C-alpha cells in the first residue's frame, strides 16, 4: 500500500544581498510558488565584505499524523519493505541552472513558521521563518542558533538547528541524506530512517532542511538556481510529497502450487463481514500468533502436515488471516506412480487445531509439476481489466479492486460443463496510477519495495488502494505491469477513468 502526504509547510531562507548595505536575512517567502536553492559567489557588492557569498536553504514539513494513525495496524516501521521518500519536482523555465552538484537533507531540531511572504525580487516581506529566525509565536521569538539554520549537532543538543546523528537503540546512526544532481532532475530522497525515528519518538517532528552539500556552499563557484515546485503551486500533482509505502500483498498459491517448490497457502476468516480470528474451546479463546494451527494435506495414501501461523505485515499480526508455507515432494513414494501419467495431483486440505480435534476449514487444491516445454519464443497478448471500478470515489474510500488477466493467445479448452473464468493468476503483478487527462504517472510501479504488488487468491487477483493518495477533483486510471517468463509486460488503461472527490 502507499500513502502520499502533502507538505504542510515549506519555504526557503536566504541572506541575499539586496543593496550595498543590506542583506535580506529577515525576509520571508513562505507563500512563493517555488523553492529556490542557490549559492552566489562574489556576484554582488556589499559594504564591509569582499567576495561575499549568498546562499539559500529550503525548509519543509510534512504532517505525519496520517502515518501515526496506521502505525501498529498497517505500517510496521521495522518491516524491510517500509519506505519513505521525499519527492520535489524540478522547475525549469529557461533560467540558468547549476551543474554537477549535491544537495543534503537534515532533520530539523527546531520548528519553523512558513509565513506568507511572496516577494522573491526585493525580498521585502519581513516575517518568520527567515535566515535569522525559525518562528515567532505569541510574542516569543525562536532564533536559529547559527544563521541559516546551520548549527549541526546530535539529537538532544540544545544548540542544534539541524540533527546530524541519533541513537535509536542500537548505536549512533548518521542521519543526513545526500543526492547528486546533473542539472534538472527531481529530488527523490529516501528518509525512511528519519521518519521511523520520528514516529518512534527518537527525533523531534520539525521537518527538514535541504541545502547544498559541504563545501559547495563555501567554495568559489556560483550555483544558481536549483528550483523546485512549492506546495503553493497551482498544479497539485507537482507539489512536494512524502511517499510512505509498504508491501502488504498476500501471495496465495492455491491456484499455482508447484511440486518441490515452497509455496504459501492462506486462509481468511470473517465474522459478519469483519475480519476475525478463529475461536477455539469452551472459553472461546482466539487462535493467533505463531504456530497456532496445523494444516494437513492428503492425496490417496499420501499425507503431510505444515505449521500454520497468523499472517503478518512485518511484525504486525493481521486479524483473521492465516498462512502456511511448505513444499510437496514430487518423488514421494505415494505420489511418484500417479505423476508418471499426469502433470498434477489434487490434494485435500484441512486447517485445524494443534491437537487435531477441531477442523476450522476443509477444501482442496491442485499441485502441478514444473511448466516445462520445448523452447519457443514467448509471444503473448494479455488482456487485463479491473472489473469493479466505479466512476467516483471519495478521499476516505479504501476500495478493493479485482484484477482480471487473460492470455488471448492461449489455446482454448472446450468443456461440456460450465465453469467460471477467473483468468490467469500471475505471481508478480504491480499496479500504477496515471492521470486520465495528462497521462502523468501519479503512483509508479513500486517493484523494489513491493508496495504496489497485486495480491493473489485461489479465485483471482486483487489490490487495495487508499484514495487519499490522490488529488481530489482529478480523474485517474490504472495500469498494470506483469513480470513473467523473463518479460515485463505493461498493460495500460486496465480500468475506466474514475474521479476522486473530497
Predicted pLDDT of residue 93: 81
Region 116-141: mean pLDDT is 94
Predicted pLDDT of residue 425: 92
Give the CA count within 13 Å in the CB-facing half-sphere of 30.
22
Inform me whether the pLDDT recorded for 374 exceeds 60. no
HEC sequence for 202-230 = CCCCCCEEEEECHHHHCCCCCEEEEEEEC
Q: Which CATH architecture has domain 382-501?
A: Sandwich (2.60)
Inform me whether the pLDDT recorded for 245 exceeds 80. yes
Inform me whether the pLDDT recorded for 376 exceeds 60. no
Give the CA count within 13 Å in the CB-facing half-sphere of 484.
20
Which residues, in sequence order, are bridge partners of residue 107? 208
How distant, in Å, are the alpha carbons of 109, 214, 261 from that of 157? 9, 21, 53
Predicted pLDDT of residue 123: 96
Rg from Cα positions in the chain: 28
Region 118-146: mean pLDDT is 95
Region 232-240: mean pLDDT is 90
Distance (Å, rounded) from C-alpha 178 to C-alpha 213? 7
Inform me whether the pLDDT recorded for 373 exceeds 70. no
Domain positions in the chain are 2-245, 257-368, 382-501
For the stretch 389-446, pLDDT in tens is 999 999 999 999 999 999 887 766 656 665 566 788 999 999 999 999 999 999 999 9
Predicted pLDDT of residue 293: 97
Which residues, in sequence order, are bridge partners of residue 298? 303, 348
Predicted pLDDT of residue 418: 58
Region 59-64: mean pLDDT is 97
Is 382-501 the same fold as 257-368?
A: yes
Region 469-498: mean pLDDT is 94
What pTM was estimated for this model as a whole?
0.89
Region 355-377: mean pLDDT is 83
Residues 6+ apart with CB under 8 A from 340: none
Which residues, in sequence order, are bridge partners of residue 167? 172
For the stretch 161-214, pLDDT in tens is 999 999 999 899 999 999 999 999 999 999 999 999 999 999 999 999 999 999
Residues 6+ apart with CB under 8 A from 115: 11, 28, 29, 30, 31, 125, 127, 128, 129, 130
**37 close to 81: Cβ distance less than 8 angstroms:** no
Distance (Å, rounded) from C-alpha 97 to C-alpha 227? 8
- The average confidence (pLDDT) of the chain is 93
C-alpha cell at 483: 513480470
CATH of domain 257-368: 2.60.40.10
Inform me whether the pLDDT recorded for 375 exceeds 60. no
Distance (Å, rounded) from C-alpha 255 to C-alpha 258? 9
Region 449-453: mean pLDDT is 95
Amino acid at each position: 500500500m502507499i500513502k502520499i502526504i502533502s507538505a504542510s509547510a515549506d519555504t526557503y531562507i536566504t541572506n541575499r544581498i539586496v543593496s550595498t548595505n543590506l542583506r535580506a536575512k529577515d525576509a520571508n517567502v513562505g507563500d512563493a510558488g517555488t523553492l529556490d536553492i542557490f549559492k552566489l559567489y562574489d556576484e554582488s557588492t556589499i559594504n564591509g565584505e569582499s567576495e561575499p557569498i549568498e546562499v539559500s536553504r529550503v525548509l519543509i514539513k510534512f504532517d505525519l499524523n496520517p502515518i501515526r494513525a496506521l502505525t501498529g495496524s498497517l505500517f510496521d516501521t521495522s518491516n524491510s519493505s517500509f519506505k519513505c521518500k521525499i519527492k520535489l519536482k524540478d522547475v525549469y523555465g529557461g533560467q540558468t541552472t547549476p551543474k554537477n552538484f549535491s544537495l543534503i537533507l537534515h532533520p530539523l531540531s527546531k520548528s519553523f513558521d512558513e509565513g506568507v511572504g511572496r516577494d522573491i525580487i526585493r525580498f521585502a516581506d519581513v516575517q518568520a521563518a527567515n535566515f535569522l529566525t525559525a518562528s515567532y509565536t505569541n510574542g516569543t521569538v525562536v532564533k536559529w542558533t547559527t544563521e541559516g539554520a546551520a548549527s549541526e549537532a546530535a539529537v538532544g543538543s540544545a544548540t542544534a538547528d539541524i540533527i546530524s546523528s541519533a541513537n535509536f537503540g542500537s548505536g549512533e546512526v548518521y542521519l543526513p541524506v545526500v543526492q547528486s544532481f546533473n542539472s534538472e532532475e527531481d529530488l527523490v530522497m529516501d528518509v525512511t530512517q528519519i521518519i521511523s525515528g520520528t514516529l518512534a519518538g527518537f527525533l523531534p517532528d520539525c521537518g527538514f532542511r535541504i541545502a547544498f552539500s559541504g563545501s559547495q556552499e563555501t567554495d568559489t563557484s556560483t550555483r544558481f538556481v536549483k528550483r523546485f515546485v512549492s506546495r503553493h503551486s497551482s498544479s497539485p500533482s507537482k507539489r512536494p510529497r512524502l511517499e510512505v509505502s509498504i508491501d502488504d500483498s498476500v501471495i496465495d498459491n492455491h491456484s499455482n502450487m508447484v511440486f518441490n517448490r515452497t509455496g504459501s497457502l492462506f486462509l481468511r476468516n470473517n465474522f459478519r463481514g469483519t475480519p476475525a480470528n478463529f475461536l477455539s474451546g469452551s472459553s472461546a479463546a482466539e487462535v493467533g500468533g505463531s504456530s497456532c494451527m496445523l494444516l494437513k494435506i492428503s492425496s490417496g495414501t499420501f499425507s503431510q502436515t505444515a505449521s500454520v501461523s497468523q499472517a503478518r505485515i512485518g511484525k504486525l499480526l493481521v486479524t483473521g488471516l492465516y498462512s502456511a508455507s511448505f513444499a510437496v515432494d514430487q518423488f514421494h513414494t505415494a505420489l511418484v506412480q500417479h505423476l508418471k501419467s499426469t502433470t498434477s495431483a489434487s490434494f485435500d486440505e484441512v486447517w485445524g487445531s494443534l491437537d487435531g480435534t477441531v477442523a476450522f476449514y476443509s477444501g482442496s487444491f491442485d499441485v502441478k509439476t514444473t511448466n516445462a516445454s520445448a523452447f519457443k519464443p514467448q509471444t503473448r497478448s494479455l488482456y487485463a481489466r479491473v472489473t469493479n471500478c466505479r466512476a467516483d470515489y471519495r478521499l476516505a474510500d479504501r476500495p478493493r479492486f479485482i484484477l482480471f488477466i487473460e492470455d488471448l493467445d492461449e489455446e482454448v479448452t472446450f468443456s461440456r460443463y460450465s465453469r467460471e473464468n477467473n483468468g490467469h493468476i500471475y505471481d508478480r503483478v504491480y499496479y500504477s496510477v496515471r492521470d486520465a487527462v495528462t497521462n502523468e504517472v501519479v503512483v509508479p510501479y513500486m517493484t523494489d519495495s513491493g508496495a504496489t504488488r497485486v495480491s493473489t487468491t485461489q479465485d483471482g487477483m486483487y489490490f487495495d488502494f487508499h484514495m487519499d493518495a490522490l488529488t481530489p477533483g482529478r480523474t485517474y486510471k490504472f495500469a498494470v505491469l506483469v513480470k513473467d517468463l523473463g518479460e515485463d509486460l505493461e498493460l495500460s488503461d486496465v480500468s475506466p477513468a474514475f474521479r476522486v472527490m473530497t
